[in-house]
């Protein structure tokens, strides 16, 4: 017997709907999963079979074939476990499949079954009797083939011709010549199968999402928000989802989400029981950031530069000796940024959900993200990649702050990968089967030491080091896209409120005047990067 239900799988930031087809037919006992599943999806049998036994259901002793359509797209993760388990229950007649069908077709199917059952039990329906169930499909020698060309039933012989199922809805049966009531039962089963195939041709607006554990409980999967959104676009109106992830799925409008804790609840819903409708998860509480700019004493110019960069969305480069407060200033930038808007919150929440950084079931994010990766990360970790593609640190900082500390320690090729994302605000990852685009509009704040030497901690130039050599190790395209540059200076004692360092302000004024001249005179951004390095050198020498 065949059962069908909808589910979904992730691919990048988006998801795509899957039509899960489960067939339980004759053959040696076994389980075959087709449709390009990955390793975790292929392990569904090892999870579902113990779950069926531990929840009191019968494990099928026949050949089970599961197809995840479309077959040409790779399926990732265990999000289809619940759908496969429900399909097996329906295909083995352990649960009715009426709720999985299209409601516009199911009443007609029920009417045909009732008429066929009355004809089967009608007195005198023996040999030579023509049985004509309701629905317009006749029988006898002049009967035309039904929608699936199931064959004909001749009159006067009591025998059934064409396809005769081995196992009908009521169990095993066999049709032989000369048995009148068996003829009626045979017609009922053949016609029922024909109409059932017609019903299965139109899937109902029901889908299932969740991973099955060995004891039958249903676990949430990552990316539930994207999965639910893809199902709604495919016409789904009812979703059976893991209880822990149901609040996240309920964030999608026009979707009725029923939380399911185990397979028993799913089977009860199929039998007609009502499950509560899940309410959407409330947004996250307003984040309390670890620090505030009020904690910073001194560094008036650097603090002002970072505030302007945060207000205008300008990338910033902080240059100063160790311990001067570069990282302290950068980590306090999210505290002055406004909360995420409605559309921004949905996008950021989806990114963090598919990356597995948020537990299933949480609401929309309100605080802007702050990402500070180590300089040893890979290119795929920075801009995204893998198969299937995953978002990188740049995309995870979308609408937030990406802080690259010790910029001179990052490999040149790694920073060169930031060329296009910083300009376009998105990352396009191309693979052989598909192309994925991740949003990547983040505020980049970088910090670096002026040189490798730290002998002179009060200025920008070391006694034995060369500032130009250290600055040149940072990526040239990245530096020209840093529209603001500021210098930090380490003081022997913290400044009091209102105090200023004359040398710091003199260096900043020189830098500001030269950058203004650069913006007026330069015709291409490449000259801007060269002049910026020269400006930093001049400001360090106090000229």
38: CATH: 3.30.230.10
Same domain as 25, residue 70:
yes
What does 288-342 look like in DSSP terms, one character per residue?
--S--GGG--S-HHHHHHHHHHHHHT--EEEE--TTSSHHHHHTTSGGGSPPP-H
C-alpha closest to that of 408 among 291, 326, 483: 326
Helix (H), strand (E) at residue 426: strand 426-430
Q: How confident is the model at residue 389 (pLDDT cuts 50, 70, 90)?
A: confident
Please tell me which residue, 137 or 406, carries the higher pLDDT value.
406
What tens digit of pLDDT does each residue of 153-192 get? 333 333 333 333 333 333 333 333 333 333 333 333 444 4
Specify the pLDDT at position 174.
34
Mean pLDDT of 254-264: 95
Segment among 113-127, 292-306, 452-466 with least mean pLDDT: 113-127
C-alpha closest to that of 250 among 286, 285, 282: 282
Mean pLDDT of 522-528: 39
Q: What is the 3-state secondary structure (H, E, C) of 204-255?
A: CCEEEECEECCCCEEECCCCHHHHHHHHHHCCCCEEEEECCCHHHHCCCCCC
Q: How confident is the model at residue 319 (pLDDT cuts 50, 70, 90)?
A: confident
On whether residue 517 sits in a domain, the answer given is: no
Specify the pLDDT at position 290.
60
Specify the pLDDT at position 412.
87
Same domain as 479, residue 333:
yes
The tokens describing 76, both together, are: 């990732």
Task: Say if CB 510 and CB 543 are below 8 A apart.
Answer: yes
On whether residue 505 sits in a domain, the answer given is: no
Segment among 194-208, 324-338, 360-374 with least mean pLDDT: 194-208
Specify the pLDDT at position 292.
78
Same domain as 326, residue 263:
no
Specify the pLDDT at position 499.
43
> Residue 432 pLDDT > 70, yes or no?
yes
What tens digit of pLDDT does each residue of 488-518 get? 554 433 434 444 444 444 444 555 555 554 4
The tokens describing 85, both together, are: 């388990």
Mean pLDDT of 212-236: 95
Specify the pLDDT at position 375.
92
- Torsion of the alpha carbons at 51, 57, 59 and 60, rounded to the nearest 10: -140
* pLDDT mean across residues, the chain: 74
Same domain as 447, residue 306:
yes
Kindly provide the b/e burial profile for residues 274-311, where b requires at least 16 CB atoms within 10 angstroms of the residue's own CB: ebeebebbebbeeeebeeebeebebbbbbbebbeebbe
Same domain as 331, residue 188:
no
DSSP state of 399: T
On whether residue 110 sits in a domain, the answer given is: yes
Same domain as 408, residue 305:
yes
> Residue 400 pLDDT > 70, yes or no?
yes
Mean pLDDT of 403-414: 90
Domain boundary among 153, 168, 200: 200
Same domain as 457, residue 392:
yes
On whether residue 192 sits in a domain, the answer given is: yes
Q: How confident is the model at residue 200 (pLDDT cuts 50, 70, 90)?
A: very low
Helix (H), strand (E) at residue 506: helix 502-521
The domain spanning residue 462 has which CATH number?
3.40.50.300
Same domain as 156, residue 13:
no
Same domain as 84, residue 222:
yes
The tokens describing 56, both together, are: 């009191």
What tens digit of pLDDT does each residue of 42-69 get? 999 999 999 999 999 999 999 999 999 9
Please tell me which residue, 310 or 453, carries the higher pLDDT value.
310
Same domain as 405, residue 317:
yes
Number of structural domains, the chain? Answer: 3
Same domain as 299, residue 172:
no
DSSP state of 55: T
SS3 370: strand
C-alpha closest to that of 441 among 421, 462, 458, 460: 421
On whether residue 340 sits in a domain, the answer given is: yes
Domain range for 21 is: 2-101+204-270
> Residue 451 pLDDT > 80, yes or no?
no
Same domain as 128, residue 78:
no
SS3 378: coil
Mean pLDDT of 134-154: 36
Specify the pLDDT at position 102.
72
Task: Say if CB 64 and CB 28 are below 8 A apart.
Answer: no
Q: How confident is the model at residue 288 (pLDDT cuts 50, 70, 90)?
A: low
Please tell me which residue, 33 or 477, carries the higher pLDDT value.
33
Specify the pLDDT at position 397.
95
Whole-angstrom Cα distance, residue 192 to residue 212?
Answer: 32
On whether residue 522 sits in a domain, the answer given is: no
Please give the distance of CA 104 from its chain centroid, rounded to a whole number. 31
On whether residue 28 sits in a domain, the answer given is: yes
Q: How confident is the model at residue 103 (pLDDT cuts 50, 70, 90)?
A: low
On whether residue 472 sits in a domain, the answer given is: yes
CA atoms within 13 A on the CB side of 499: 10
Specify the pLDDT at position 138.
36
Domain boundary among 200, 227, 261: 200
């Amino acid at each position: 017997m065949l059962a069908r239900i909808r589910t979904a799988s992730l691919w990048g930031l988006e998801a795509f709907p899957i039509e899960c087809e489960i067939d339980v037919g004759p053959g040696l006992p076994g389980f075959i999963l087709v449709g390009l599943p990955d390793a975790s999806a292929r392990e569904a049998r090892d999870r579902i079979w113990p779950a069926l036994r531990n929840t009191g259901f019968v494990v099928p002793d026949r050949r089970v074939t599961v197809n995840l359509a479309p077959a040409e797209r790779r399926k990732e993760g265990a999000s289809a476990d619940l759908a496969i388990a429900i399909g097996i229950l329906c295909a083995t007649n352990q649960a009715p499949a009426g709720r999985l069908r299209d409601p516009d077709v199911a009443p007609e199917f029920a009417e045909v079954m009732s008429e066929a059952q009355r004809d089967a039990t009608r007195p005198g329906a023996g040999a030579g009797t023509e049985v004509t169930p309701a629905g317009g499909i006749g029988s006898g020698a002049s009967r035309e083939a039904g929608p699936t060309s199931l064959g004909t039933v001749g009159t006067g012989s009591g025998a059934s011709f064409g396809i005769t199922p081995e196992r009908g809805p009521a169990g095993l049966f066999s049709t032989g010549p000369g048995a009148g009531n068996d003829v009626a039962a045979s017609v009922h089963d053949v016609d029922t199968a024909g109409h059932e195939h017609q019903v299965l041709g139109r899937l109902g607006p029901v889908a299932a999402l969740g991973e099955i554990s060995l004891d039958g409980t249903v676990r949430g999967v990552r990316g539930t928000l994207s999965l639910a959104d893809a199902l709604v676009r495919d016409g789904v109106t009812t979703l059976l989802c893991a209880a822990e992830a149901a609040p996240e799925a309920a964030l999608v409008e026009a979707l009725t989400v029923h939380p399911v804790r185990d397979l028993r609840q799913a089977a009860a819903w199929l039998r007609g029981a009502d499950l509560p409708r899940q309410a959407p998860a409330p947004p996250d509480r307003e984040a309390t950031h670890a620090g505030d700019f009020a904690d910073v004493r001194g560094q008036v110019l650097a603090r002002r530069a970072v505030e302007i960069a945060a207000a205008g969305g300008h990338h910033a480069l902080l240059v100063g000796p160790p311990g001067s407060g570069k990282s302290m200033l950068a980590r306090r930038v999210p505290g002055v940024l406004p909360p995420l808007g409605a559309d921004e919150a949905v996008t950021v929440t989806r990114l963090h959900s598919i990356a597995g950084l948020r537990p299933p079931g949480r609401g929309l994010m309100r605080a802007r993200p702050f990402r500070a990766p180590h300089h040893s990360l890979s290119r795929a970790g920075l801009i995204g990649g893998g198969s299937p593609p995953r978002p990188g640190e740049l995309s995870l900082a979308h609408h937030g702050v990406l802080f690259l500390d010790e910029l001179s320690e990052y490999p040149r090729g790694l920073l060169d990968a930031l060329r296009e994302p910083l300009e376009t605000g998105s990352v396009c990852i191309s693979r052989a089967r598909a192309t994925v685009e991740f949003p990547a509009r983040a505020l980049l704040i970088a910090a670096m030491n002026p040189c490798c030497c730290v002998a002179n901690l009060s200025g920008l130039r070391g006694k034995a080091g060369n500032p130009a050599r250290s600055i040149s190790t940072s990526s040239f395209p990245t530096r020209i896209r840093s529209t603001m540059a500021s210098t930090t200076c380490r003081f022997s004692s913290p400044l009091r409120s209102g105090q200023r360092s004359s040398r710091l302000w003199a260096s900043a004024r020189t830098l500001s005047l030269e950058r203004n001249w650069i913006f007026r005179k330069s015709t291409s951004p490449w000259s801007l990067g060269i002049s910026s390095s020269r400006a930093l050198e001049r400001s360090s020498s106090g000229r």
